[in-house]
Amino acid sequence: MEADIIIKFETVCDRVPDAENVINVLSAYVDMLKIAGSVVEPAGITSVGLAGVEDGSDIFKFILRKCETYGEYISAGSERYPTVSKAAIALAGTIVASTVTIGVSSVIEPDPRIADDQMEIFRENNRLLSDSVELQRKQMEFYGILQNEPAYESFEVIRPHDGAVIYKMPRSEFAERSGLWVTDEIPPTKQETRKILKTWSVVLIKPVLIQDSRRWGFARDGIEFSAKMSDKRFLEAIHKNSLPIGLSEGIRMKIEVKYKEVYEDGAWIAERGSHEVIKVLDPLPPPSPAPLFDGPSAH
């Protein structure tokens, strides 16, 4: 049976992954596909079948089918997903949907002629997938398993119709995708903390709509955190009700965050409670009105 998606785990020469880790990583991957299917087609059930295994069990071929009911699921009364839905589900298992730049045609189909309305459906599916906290958490679990298995060197997604690699993630990125940043730097001897300044795209979880500096709730890549809101201009705009949009749970924001990391057990870990929003980049409050005069009037 022809596969809908093919994945490959490259291994380090002469190293064999632990069987339990192989089972766990495949289970997490199948769960990602099923979660993505429920986001793209919430009324149905996603069936993921194993169509083939090659080269010492490091290449796995999967088929995706859509079932309307659980009865269809167990009786195999299923149908294929449309191309754009299948492509979105396939990518959701590996690529954070908000960063998808690969076209539908390069993922699944050899024919590059995808109608504009179908491309719009593909983009909307990716938007929905990027907002799924459940999917992002499962992604982190998947990459955490890859990170914990030293035999895994990279992870690839392969196009079924011609065997071309459409996406490859090296081991160096597993830890970051799993939510843990591991460094190869020489462990510090005296200073065991460091300050970090980052620009993040986040989802607002819990705003505190008063002018005082309080801790707000956010989510980044499916992980919730709190940060002290210290952008005085932004807080003043809340007080004056002059922001261009209303602040409510689920809106997207871009913020500059500073926080402290502590070196523990060979890795830099963000210190809980140290996050602070020093500047909100989006949504921006309106600019301050220019003064009527540049300086004091001359008499």
- Please write the tens of the pLDDT for every residue from 15-46: 889 999 999 999 998 898 888 888 888 877 77
Work out whether the CA dihedral 182, 226, 123, 142 comes out positive or negative. positive
Tokens of 240: 């004056």
- The pLDDT assigned to 285 comes to 66
- The pLDDT assigned to 122 comes to 73
The pLDDT tens digits for 268-291 are: 888 888 999 999 998 876 665 544
CA distances to 182, 187, 218 from 273, rounded to whole Å, are: 20, 23, 13
How far from chain centre, in Å, is Cα 26?
19
End-to-end CA distance of the chain: 90
Distance CA 7, CA 50 (A): 11
Do residues 179 and 140 make contact, with C-beta atoms less than 8 angstroms apart? yes
- Which positions of the chain have pLDDT values less than 70? 1, 55-57, 68-88, 90-115, 179-191, 265, 285-299
Domains of the chain as residue ranges with CATH: 5-177 (no CATH), 183-282 (2.40.50)
How many CA atoms within 13 Å lie on the side-chain side of 98? 14
pTM: 0.54
